[in-house]
Amino acid sequence: MKLSRRQVLHGAAAAPLAAALPRFAVAELALGGATLRTVSDGHLTLPAEFIFGPMPQDALAPLRAEFGLTGPQLTPECNLALFEDGETRVLFDVGSGPDFMPSAGTITDSLAALGLSPEDITHVAFTHAHPDHIWGLLDDFGDPLFTQAQYFMGRREWDYWWNPETVTTIGEARAAFAVGARRRMEVIENSVTLFDDGAEILPGIAAMASFGHTPGHMSFEVRQGSDAALVIGDAIGNHHVAFRQPDWESGSDQDGATAAATRTALLDRLATEQMPFVGFHLPNGGIGRAARDGAGYRFIPGG
C-alpha cells in the first residue's frame, strides 16, 4: 500500500498533543566510565499500513492482536542516543525539529531537562537522513541548532540524498523527505565528515553498515574497554513484527528485501552476543537486548 505524505501528516495532526512522551532522558546504560542514554524527541503518529502494508495479512493479524496494534495508527517513540564520556557529547541523529509532526521535535526540552543545550553537543552522527532523524538540524527560524557540533554521515547516505535525481525517483510519498534532507545537508556541507563502513569516526565509535531502511543507513558500535553497545537507528524499526518476523518486508523501509536481510543478521548477532543496543523507535526509551523466541526474537527493555 502506498501512502502519500498528506495521509501520514494528517494522521499525525489528528493525534492529541497530550499524548506526547515526557521530554527528558528516558533510559541509560553505563559503558565503562561513559554513559549512553536516550533523550526523547516525542513520538510519531503513523498509519499502521505504512509499516504493515506489504506483510502477509493473515499471518500478521495474530501478532497485531498480541501487541495491541489493531487500531489504524501507530505511535512509535523517538529516542535519540546521547553518548557522554567527560570530553565529548555525541548525539546520534537530531530528531524531527518543528516542521515534521506536532507530536515530535522535543529534543531541546529533553536536553534542557539534563541541564544541557544544543550548544553543548560536540558531535552529531547520523544513522540516516529521514525527517525524524535530520530535520531537527534547524530551529524554528531555519537556523542551525547544534552550532558547536562536528557532523558525521555515511558517504553512501550522503550521496543518495545529495543526488538531485533522488527527489524524482524516491516516490511521491517521500519526495518531501528528499527536499527536506537536501536543504539541511546544504547547511552542514562544509562541516560534515563523510565515512564508510567500518570507519572509527571518533575514538571508541565505529560505523557499521546496516543498509536497507535507506540506501546508506549506518549503525554505530560504541565501545569503552570491554563494554559495548550498538546504536541501530531504524535498522530494527519496532518491537513487534521486526523481532518476531524479521524477514518480513516493512513498508517503512525504502529497500524492503535488503532491510529484512540486514535486520535478520543484526538480530542474530545481538541475540548471540547479548549486546545491548539503542533502537530509535523501540519502547521504554529504546535501550534493550534481543532474545531468541522460537523462530524469531523478542525485545527485552533495559541494558
Could you read off the pLDDT of 126-146 as tens digits, one per residue?
999 999 999 999 999 999 999
pLDDT of 20 above 80: no
Q: Where are the domains of the chain?
A: 5-231
The reported pLDDT for the residue numbered 303 is: 77
CA distance 232 to 239: 13
Do 140 and 167 contact (CB within 8 A), yes or no? no
* pTM of structure: 0.92
CATH 1.10.3720.10 fits domain 5-231: no
Q: Is residue 60 helix, strand or coil?
A: helix
Take residue 6 and report the three cell numbers written for it.
498528506
pLDDT in tens, 57-81: 999 999 999 999 999 999 999 999 9
pLDDT mean over 210-229:
97
pLDDT of 216 above 80: yes
Interacting residues of 73 by C-beta distance below 8 A, sequence separation 6+: 11, 15, 45, 46, 47, 48
Q: Is residue 265 helix, strand or coil?
A: helix
Residues 58/59/60/63 CA torsion (nearest 10 deg): 130
Do 102 and 42 contact (CB within 8 A), yes or no? no
pLDDT of 9 above 70: no
Q: Greater confidence, 273 or 2?
A: 273
CA distance 113 to 276: 25
CA distance 75 to 50: 12
Take residue 300 and report the three cell numbers written for it.
527485552
Do 42 and 22 contact (CB within 8 A), yes or no? no
Take residue 209 and report the three cell numbers written for it.
553498515
pLDDT in tens, 241-283: 999 999 999 999 999 999 999 999 999 999 999 999 999 999 9
CA distance 221 to 283: 20
CA distance 32 to 79: 22
Residues 264/270/272/273 CA torsion (nearest 10 deg): 150
Q: What is the CA radius of gyration of the chain?
A: 18
CA distance 121 to 81: 12
Do 297 and 290 contact (CB within 8 A), yes or no? yes
